[in-house]
Amino acid sequence: MEQTALNFNSKMSPQCQKLYDRLCRGPITNAQIRDELCLLEYRRRFKDLRDKYGIPTTKKPLGHGLYEYSLEGRAV
């Protein structure tokens, strides 16, 4: 009998879940992430979404330090 690997980290952190839920509704800027979602460490959350949960995201520069983030394949 072979034991399969168990992933105990499958549940997203509350911050990642909040960011993912918002990204599912459409693109969001870094200013909106800070002001609406109150996430200051959002870059870390994007890394977690990509690396821990396999959720691809895109980042598009808008100028003047503003970036638009979206789920890959859902960019508008």
Give the fold, CATH level 3, of 14-71.
Arc Repressor Mutant, subunit A (1.10.10)
- This prediction has a pTM of 0.79
67's enclosing H/E stretch is strand 66-71
Averaged pLDDT of the chain: 87
Using CA atoms, how far apart are residues 50 and 15, in angstroms rounded to an integer?
14
Using CA atoms, how far apart are residues 30 and 40, in angstroms rounded to an integer?
9
Average pLDDT over residues 39-66: 94
Domain boundaries, the chain: 14-71
Average pLDDT over residues 19-23: 96
Q: For residue 62, name the pLDDT band (cuts at 50, 70, 90).
A: very high
Using CA atoms, how far apart are residues 54 and 16, in angstroms rounded to an integer?
12
Q: Find the helix packing angle between 42-51 and 14-24, rounded to 10°.
A: 80
